[in-house]
Structure 1
Amino acid sequence: MKSKARPATGRMLYAQSGGVTAVINATAAGVIQTARAHGVKVYAARNGILGALREELIDTGKETAAAIEALRHTPGGAFGSCRYKLKSLDANRAEYERLIDVLRAHDIRWFLYNGGNDSADTALKISQLGKAMGYDIRCIGVPKTVDNDLAVTDCCPGFGSVAKYTAVSTLEASLDVASMADTSTKVFILEVMGRHAGWIAAASGLAGEGEDAPPHIILFPERVFDEAAFIAKVKATVERVGWCTVVASEGIRNAEGQFLAEAGTRDAFGHTQLGGVAPVLAALVKEELGYKYHWALPDYLQRSARHLASKTDADQAYAVGKAAVEYALKDMNAVMPVIVRSSDAPYRWKIEPASLDKIANREKKMPANFLTRDGFGITAAARRYLAPLIQGEAPLPYGRDGLPKYVQMKNVAVAKRLPEFSH
């Protein structure tokens, strides 16, 4: 996994993968600034792994130091991302060989892939194929996902900010509902991301503590949705408190294992396209209890809300990018910089390398002791884990128009050296 550091020769390729986060560009800044400090040229793949396959590379050396620094507070994916899953080596060896051809053509000796479980698997496979094809390439997975479901790492860069956004949104919307409950809305339902793991939904629990504090009900994909228990809980809460805030993960399922909200389509990773559980729950509340309701589906707003980013998250996102370059230049291969927590209070963390084969295609769900016995809330153990991740603010520079000053990359293309590739 590690050997003696060698001279920094060749180029580095950085690619973003999957759904972006409010702080993924902070990781990009960490990569580029650290590489520049070591005299290494960084190319970025346009639109993630597809850019590498198409030989659509971006020369980040054309960007100013100020522009790269501004990435630290700019949301979105500065170089473009994609949802594209490479098949197995046996099923589509041609794609992997094409990647090696592109890397060789541009003297790329380090590949940093910034993504989740599938991306870790891709980085691992490329490292293996490079060795098999006799091409000297070091592959580093760089953690990113709002879902917080990567194995080994204590938390995932991107999650802390979406957790902060969700907790704040839950609190603010609940204050609104409480003020209107006497004559209007009795039930507010907030739908959040989370297909198989309820980390984002759990973060809403930081909005309040105690039985009467919102959110009164959290619905997790780790628990089977019990319609009768849900309706009874809503009714009891409204009768006791006067209103009820519900936070529901998009991935909740019924006893038959079916998603409550399923659009019937699948994304590039083969995942069922979700979205719309809030109106399903709202219709159920209306039908069974007759309460007035409102629901919200923040969707992309959750992961793009850089204005409400967690400082902890922004710092960690930059740190994994910096560490990824340092690991690559130390000749490490098939590893990922992960976050290790050494203390809850005061919160302390550090970055350490972990083997990609312990991360790729594994999914971290919430521990059973993070959910209350009735399955509708979070425990003190969950609070101890979650609370530090939303700490601190990461302020933005604002323009005279009152809007944040985000940066737009030039994204100057690198001249192609290979024939077009069809896939």
Structure 2
Amino acid sequence: MVNAVYAQSGGVTSVINASALGVYRKIIDNKDTIENLFIGINGINGIAENNLIILNSQDIDKINLLEFTPSSAFGSCRKKLSLNDEGYLKKIFDTFKKNNIRYFFYNGGNDSMDTANLIYEYSKKIKFDLKVIGIPKTIDNDLCFTDHTPGYGSTAKYLAISALEGSIDVKSMCYDSTRIFILETMGRHAGWLTASTALARLNSDFGPHIILIPERAFNKERFLMKVKKTLSEYGYCSIAVSEGIKDEQNNFLSDLGYNDNFGNTQLGFVGKTLSTILMKELGEKSHVAIPDYLQRSGRHISSLCDVKEAIKAGEYAVEYALKGINGKMVTFKRISNKPYEITFDYIDLNMIANQTKFIPDEYITEDGMDVNEKFIEYAKPLIKGESYPEYKNGIPLYYKL
């Protein structure tokens, strides 16, 4: 029999380990075909270094905790590969050969699918029998050709609740204290996360009143006009803003002046930038909240829908590979909103890699500073249900490698 290897890559989510559990469960169901499920520690780096563990040798009760554990249980990475990295690629395939690995499952986003595609292409080049399947993951929800991605629903739920509670807070204090609340979300090129704060208005409209996304250029004058109007009407103003918004000259408002390992501009503190503008132009103090890691690892309030779909994504990855499907990523196709129903499919890895899915124009309001009911209809099913971890001593129990 042969073996499989699974690894995690890129920015993490609160449900990425649920996909690992899905891979594990499907492989256990097919133990006559795949003997061991290896895990690459710290993503593709662990595979290149032969730094692996055998997941099915661990205690089942511990493995089951993966469903409720946020972030990467096995370590992630931001390794940028190219076909010119011949030495590194040879190390990866030496590990495959040494451990009789014939199935490779890579769990990640845009850049991770590029890595998976390179592994697939190199396997063909050297005529090595390897099935490569990508498992989608990103809180940014910006992978093309899939309706949504595991991780988005849970982060959307976290941010919507945070926006709701922050809006209520500033409302309660606005009479003679701070009148503006700003929630800064992740989202470099696409505003799906920031848009999700509109779900805070599902039950009662405390805010946010302004939602700033990268799909629309930031215009200071129009922004200030809307803030003043909101303050006049409600007495307070709640704002959600994406870290990746740009001005009308296409410059990031929050460029920190250096790049990450993938060459992306490092962004941060756009909320503080807005806060400075509001103080300088309107004389209004504002409170800024930056959830940062908390928004993507907030497993205590994950979406049940998201958790279930993350597990299914892992299961389908194995199912496709066992059918001989190769060089693909698992995708979601929405059948209907009411009732919410999806089906699973796959697409070529090279179609996914290094592309971005933006919020459609039809989801954005005319003034470019909010989203409309069409977006709500799209996003609402993704945050449905709760999947609470087990608590001990008042704190969740999580998997530890």
Same fold? TM cut 0.5: yes
Give aligned-pair identity as a percent. Answer: 45
CA contact (8 A) 2:196 2:379 kept: yes
Give the alignment of 1:133-152 within 5 angstroms. 133-152=126-145
Give the alignment of 1:45-124 within 5 angstroms. 45-87=40-82, 89=83, 91-124=84-117
Residue identity opposite 2:76 in structure 1:
S
Measured in 2, the distance between the counterparts of 1:361 and 1:266 equals 17
- The one-character-per-residue Cα deviations of 1:229-275 (angstroms, maximum 9, x if unpaired) are 11111111001110000000000011221111111111111011111
Residue 10 of structure 1 pairs with residue 5 of structure 2: no
With normalisation by structure 2, the TM-score equals 0.97
- The one-character-per-residue Cα deviations of 1:13-65 (angstroms, maximum 9, x if unpaired) are 10100111000000011111211121121001010011111111112122111
CA contact (8 A) 2:167 2:206 kept: no
Residue identity opposite 1:57 in structure 2:
L
Measured in 2, the distance between the counterparts of 1:392 and 1:179 equals 29
CA contact (8 A) 1:17 1:83 kept: yes
CA contact (8 A) 1:218 1:377 kept: yes
SS in 2 for 1:307: helix
User: Which has the higher mean CA deviation after the structures are superposed, 202-211 or 372-381?
Assistant: 202-211
CA contact (8 A) 1:190 1:278 kept: yes
- The one-character-per-residue Cα deviations of 1:318-346 (angstroms, maximum 9, x if unpaired) are 00001111111111101111111100111
Residue identity opposite 1:130 in structure 2:
S
With normalisation by structure 1, the TM-score equals 0.92
1:415 corresponds to = none
1:37 corresponds to = 29
Measured in 1, the distance between the counterparts of 2:252 and 2:346 equals 36
SS in 2 for 1:110: strand
Residue 94 of structure 1 and its aligned partner are, at CA, apart by 2.3
2:325 to 320, 332, 335: 332
SS in 2 for 1:326: helix
Number of equivalent positions: 398
2:234 corresponds to = 241
Measured in 2, the distance between the counterparts of 1:48 and 1:210 equals 41
Measured in 2, the distance between the counterparts of 1:63 and 1:238 equals 57
Measured in 1, the distance between the counterparts of 2:123 and 2:284 equals 61
Unaligned runs of 5+ in 2: none
CA RMSD of aligned residues (A): 1.4
Measured in 1, the distance between the counterparts of 2:296 and 2:203 equals 28
User: Which has the higher mean CA deviation after the structures are superposed, 326-335 or 366-375?
Assistant: 326-335
CA contact (8 A) 1:186 1:292 kept: yes
Measured in 1, the distance between the counterparts of 2:180 and 2:153 equals 27
CA contact (8 A) 2:191 2:358 kept: yes
- The one-character-per-residue Cα deviations of 1:171-193 (angstroms, maximum 9, x if unpaired) are 01111111110011100000000
Residue 398 of structure 1 pairs with residue 395 of structure 2: no
Residue identity opposite 2:348 in structure 1:
S
Residue identity opposite 2:71 in structure 1:
G
Task: Tell me: CA distance 1:375–1:125, structure 2 relative to 1, closer, same or farther (3 Å).
Answer: same
Measured in 2, the distance between the counterparts of 1:337 and 1:215 equals 34
- The one-character-per-residue Cα deviations of 1:132-175 (angstroms, maximum 9, x if unpaired) are 21210000000000000001110000000000000000001111
1:276 corresponds to = 269
Measured in 1, the distance between the counterparts of 2:305 and 2:269 equals 31
Measured in 1, the distance between the counterparts of 2:204 and 2:363 equals 16
Residue 97 of structure 1 and its aligned partner are, at CA, apart by 2.4
CA contact (8 A) 1:22 1:75 kept: yes
User: Which has the higher mean CA deviation after the structures are superposed, 108-117 or 255-264?
Assistant: 255-264
Residue 404 of structure 1 and its aligned partner are, at CA, apart by 0.7
Task: Tell me: CA distance 1:288–1:65, structure 2 relative to 1, closer, same or farther (3 Å).
Answer: same
Task: Tell me: CA distance 1:161–1:210, structure 2 relative to 1, closer, same or farther (3 Å).
Answer: closer
CA contact (8 A) 2:81 2:118 kept: no
Measured in 1, the distance between the counterparts of 2:286 and 2:134 equals 44
Measured in 2, the distance between the counterparts of 1:55 and 1:264 equals 35
Task: Tell me: CA distance 1:309–1:211, structure 2 relative to 1, closer, same or farther (3 Å).
Answer: closer
Residue identity opposite 1:334 in structure 2:
G
1:3 corresponds to = none
Measured in 2, the distance between the counterparts of 1:313 and 1:247 equals 23
SS in 1 for 2:222: helix
CA contact (8 A) 1:201 1:218 kept: yes
CA contact (8 A) 1:161 1:390 kept: yes
Measured in 2, the distance between the counterparts of 1:209 and 1:229 equals 26
1:24 corresponds to = 16
CA contact (8 A) 1:204 1:247 kept: yes
1:373 corresponds to = 366
Residue 356 of structure 1 pairs with residue 341 of structure 2: no
Residue 293 of structure 1 and its aligned partner are, at CA, apart by 1.3
Residue identity opposite 2:376 in structure 1:
R
Residue 92 of structure 1 and its aligned partner are, at CA, apart by 2.1
- The one-character-per-residue Cα deviations of 1:190-231 (angstroms, maximum 9, x if unpaired) are 000000000000000111169974110000111111011111
Measured in 1, the distance between the counterparts of 2:203 and 2:48 equals 52
Measured in 2, the distance between the counterparts of 1:250 and 1:98 equals 37
CA contact (8 A) 1:139 1:335 kept: yes
CA contact (8 A) 1:104 1:135 kept: no
Residue identity opposite 1:121 in structure 2:
D
Measured in 2, the distance between the counterparts of 1:378 and 1:213 equals 16
1:156 corresponds to = 149
SS in 2 for 1:350: strand
User: Which has the higher mean CA deviation after the structures are superposed, 175-184 or 203-212?
Assistant: 203-212
SS in 2 for 1:101: helix
Task: Tell me: CA distance 1:212–1:232, structure 2 relative to 1, closer, same or farther (3 Å).
Answer: farther
Measured in 1, the distance between the counterparts of 2:350 and 2:81 equals 16
Measured in 1, the distance between the counterparts of 2:143 and 2:293 equals 20
Measured in 1, the distance between the counterparts of 2:211 and 2:203 equals 13
Give the alignment of 1:138-217 within 5 angstroms. 138-208=131-201, 213-217=206-210
Task: Tell me: CA distance 1:290–1:197, structure 2 relative to 1, closer, same or farther (3 Å).
Answer: same
